[in-house]
Structures are given as structure tokens and as C-alpha cells.
Amino acid sequence: MQTFVTHLECSLTGEHYPADRVHGLSASGKPLLVRYDLDAMAEVLEREEVSRREGGFWRYREFLPVRFDANVVTLGEVTTPLIRLPSLEENDELWVKDEGRLPTGSFKARGLALAVAMARELGLKHLAMPTNGNAGAALAAYAAKADLRATVLCPADTPEINIRETSELGARVFRVNGLISDCGRIVGERAQDQGWFDLSTLKEPYRIEGKKTMGLELAQQFDWQLPDAIFYPTGGGTGLIGMWKAFAELEALGWIDSRRPKMFAVQAEGCAPIVRAFAAGEEFAEPWQDAQTMAAGIRVPAAVGDFLILRAVRESGGAALAVSDEDIIAARSQVAAAEGTLLCPEGAATFVAWRQAKAAGLLDEGSRSLLFNCATGLKYPLTDHSTMLD
């Protein structure tokens, strides 16, 4: 299989880097993005052909950097369903993309499948990362399948299910008395003497390519007409940046037009660095002190791709919105009982943000909005609504 990769590019300076080498951040300490020969791709690939292929994100093979099929690692990825929420949508159209159906129950599978395939391709042996839970589990699963070693550092109060899941899947797990940023610092400091390759969010170029497939997939599912708004629970922001990149690539291929959804970055009130930077009109986000929220997946005090998130949100005419933990918990119960769809806390946060955006007049009447349920609701402690009957 050929790839259409031409080079990698610094997301801040545009400086070029050669493909097929091991890369972390660019020389200026910013994420590297993979670039493709989209003209060549347009000549040989048609969207109808891609749509006919078997489901799951590997159907977008040409949009991905893996050169040899033998390095592809699969655990039964599926195309995640779009579920409409008619009883909650009022005069709008409201959909959820349920990413909880992927291997290890979260959309982290997309990014880690790609990172592990590329690690194999580049001959890396031992992968390490900081995690709030789901990324570590996805790394453990794909690394096990690919016969690579995995070491994961997580805050000690990471949801217990994630910690147990990750170690069952064969990774070495360290609970750290601190936040994900502390775990990330330890991975960075110890990588060299431990022989680890650092797979931190956006500190290597390939997880975002996996997350990008959310944008390709939803475009295809909506018959190449993007929704009017996308609500994305934003930690490191890989998915939001990845989808934004996917839309540009699809437009370059002539598969979609130039209209874009308003991108809404959703954070928790107890950890909202992107929301604060958005409101202040800043290009980069200051780290958030004393980050606190029950939505572990978005408890990320500092994101190396902050400026890319903020750029996409601003260019799209969207916004960055913060929601409270109380509203998240209430929204989870409401959506579950009304629509039979159990969201994870981060997914429920996007529903709260959608209501907030509507109330603030940020959406046109009749807008089609898409929420992201990034993980299965079953991974999280749930509210007890039962009654004891003796």
C-alpha cells in the first residue's frame, strides 16, 4: 500500500520535517501535523468507493500515515452510530455520535490504534503516556495486540475501572499523587533513561490522525453535508483539532464544500483553561490551577495544542463553554431516561453546553447539532435512583 504522506509540518511555524522518522514535538515545542498529497489522492480515490468499504476507521486508509498493511492493528473497530434525540431537541435537530462502541469503550481507540501502528512501523518497542484513564486503556489494548510494551501514569484518583482495565490489558500502571500534567512531566523526564517513547496527547504526530477519522466518518454518515454545530468535550483537544483538519482535507479533495460547523469546545467549570483564553481573546491558554471536575476525561489543566483548539473554534464561529458538574450529572440522568442513551460525564457535558448555546442565541433556529459521547457511560459511577424493597 502506498501512503500519500509528503511530510510533517510544525503547526505553529509551518517548518517541514521528513516522514518515516521518529518525531515528538517540533523544534519550537509545538505539535507536528502530517501532510498528504491531496491532489494525487483526489485522482485515485472516490468518496463512493470509501463509503462502500467495510465499516470502522481503517476504511479511511488513504487518509492515514501507515505505509504497510502488516503494521495495522485492529480490535474490531466499528463505525460509531449517530443517534438522534428527538424528545430533547425542541425545534432543532440533535444527534449524538456514540464513541463508546469502540474497542476499550472510548474514542481514544482511534488515536491509539494509529499511534501503535506507527510505533510498529518506526520500530519503537516501549510506549509510555500520562492518562486520565481512557487513553491508557486504549494504549494497553493496542500495544498488547501489537506485542509492544506499555507504561501508563495516571492521577491516583483516576476512575478505578480505567486503572484496573489498563493493567488487565498488560500495561504497567503507576498511580501518581498529582494531576495529568504531573504524570506528563514524569514521562517526559524519564523517557530517555527508561527507553520509553512518549505518546502524550499531541506530543507525537499520529494520535491526531486517528482522531481525525471522527470528522471523516461523520461527514460520510451525514451524506457529506456537515452538521451546523459540533459540541466536543475538550481536554487536550485532539479530536476537535483532528476533525478540523479532516474537514480541510475533505474540502481539498472536493468531497465537501467550504461550509463548516460551528465548533464548540466544552470544558468543566472546575478546569476551563480554553474557555478562559477564548473569553480573553488570547492565542494561548494559561495553565489552570487546582483543576477539579468529576469529568476526568476533560480534567486537563494545560493543552500543548491550545492555540490550535482556539483557532478552530474562532475560525468556525463557535465558542468555548464551561458547564458545572451538577448540570453534567443531571443531564446524564435526563438524557438516559428520555432517550435510552447513557452518556459518559464528558458526553453529558456536551448536552449541557448545547442547551447553553441555544439559550445564548449562539445557534440558528433549526440548527443540526452533533454531540460527542466519547466513552461508554458504563465506565463511570452512576447515580442510584433505586428504591429498596424488603
Ligand X SMILES: *Cc1c(COP(=O)(O)O)cnc(C)c1O
Question: Is the distance from CB of 215 to CB of 246 less than 8 angstroms?
Answer: yes
Minimum CB distance to ligand X smaller for 35 or for 108:
108
Minimum CB distance to ligand X smaller for 153 or for 374:
374
No. of H helices and E strands in the chain? 12, 13
Query: Nearest distance from residue 63's CB to ligand X, in Å?
Result: 18
CA-to-CA separations, 189 to 184, 254, 299, in angstroms, rounded: 9, 44, 22
Burial of 182 (0-12, 13-18, 19+ CB in 10 A): middle
Minimum CB distance to ligand X smaller for 62 or for 77:
77
Is residue 130 classed as helix, strand or coil in its secondary structure?
Answer: strand
Minimum CB distance to ligand X smaller for 215 or for 236:
236
Query: Of 381, 288, 349, which Cα lies nearest the Cα of 96?
Result: 349
Strands (E), 223-318: 229-233, 262-268
Q: What share of the chain is helix, strand, coil (3-state, %, to 5)?
A: 45, 20, 40
Q: Which residue is nearest to ligand X (CB)?
A: 297
Query: Nearest distance from residue 237's CB to ligand X, in Å?
Result: 5
Cα gap 238→208, rounded to integer Å = 6
Minimum CB distance to ligand X smaller for 151 or for 238:
238
Strands (E), 28-76: 32-36
Minimum CB distance to ligand X smaller for 38 or for 308:
308
Please state the φ and ψ torsions of residue 32, each to the nearest 5 degrees.
Answer: -95, 140
Query: Nearest distance from residue 46's CB to ligand X, in Å?
Result: 30
Query: Nearest distance from residue 123's CB to ligand X, in Å?
Result: 27
**Which residues of this protein are in contact with ligand X, per CB under 6 A?**
106, 108, 134-135, 201, 233-239, 297-298, 344, 346, 374-375
Query: Nearest distance from residue 134's CB to ligand X, in Å?
Result: 3
Minimum CB distance to ligand X smaller for 202 or for 363:
202
Minimum CB distance to ligand X smaller for 23 or for 379:
379
Question: Is the distance from CB of 297 to CB of 374 less than 8 angstroms?
Answer: yes
Query: Of 64, 54, 94, 51, which Cα lies nearest the Cα of 373?
Result: 94
Query: Nearest distance from residue 178's CB to ligand X, in Å?
Result: 18
Query: Nearest distance from residue 1's CB to ligand X, in Å?
Result: 27
Sheet strand arrangement including 16-17: 16-17, 5-10, 32-36
Query: Nearest distance from residue 309's CB to ligand X, in Å?
Result: 8
Cα gap 139→130, rounded to integer Å = 11
